[in-house]
Amino acid sequence: MTALMPRLFGDLSEWFEGEHPLLSGHIIRVEDTATDQEYKIRAELPGMDPEKDIQISVDAGVLSIHAERRTEERAKGRSEFHYGMLQRSLRLPGNADTDNIKAGYDKGILEVTVPLKANEPTGRQIPVTGS
């Protein structure tokens, strides 16, 4: 039984790390912060060329980051790098100013800054009339 455990968990770890129909690419690791003025997302994307490998889009209040890491020519050996499509989508706050989103890339970190508009009241008072 003891000899079977590493093999069992090894097989499971390959399932989580491999390409699967349920997972369309690997997930990009992110961290986010928010203030009253902006929502900031930092994504871990080492070894990318920001002009060729990274695309950012926004649609219906969802910011999507797509990146592709291409395999390199190399001698035989072991590699634990993930190659292929990486992606992540995040719902933006309701008051996001999607027309003024800015993005920059430095030392393997993609930083996306989403300005926030002042919260405007969304409700309204309904007058009540007597009969």
pLDDT of the residue at 16: 47
Q: For residue 104, what are the β-bridge partners?
A: 111
The mean per-residue pLDDT over the stretch 52-80 comes to 87
Task: Check residue 1 and give its pLDDT.
Answer: 53
pLDDT of residue 91: 96
Indicate if the pLDDT at residue 64 is higher than 50: yes
Bridge-partner residues for 56, per DSSP? 65
Average pLDDT over residues 65-69: 92
Give 131 or 16, the one with higher predicted confidence.
131
CATH code for the structural domain at 23-71+81-115: 2.60.40.790
Outline where DSSP puts E strands in the chain. 26-27, 30-34, 38-44, 54-59, 62-69, 84-91, 102-106, 109-115
Say which residues have a Cβ less than 8 Å from residue 131's Cβ, sequence separation at least 6.
none
18, 19, 23, 27: CA torsion to nearest 10: 60
Domain spans in the chain, listed from the N-terminal domain onward: 23-71+81-115
**Are 55 and 105 a contacting pair, CB within 8 Å?**
no
pLDDT tens, residue by residue, 78-114 = 876 777 889 999 999 999 999 999 999 999 999 999 9
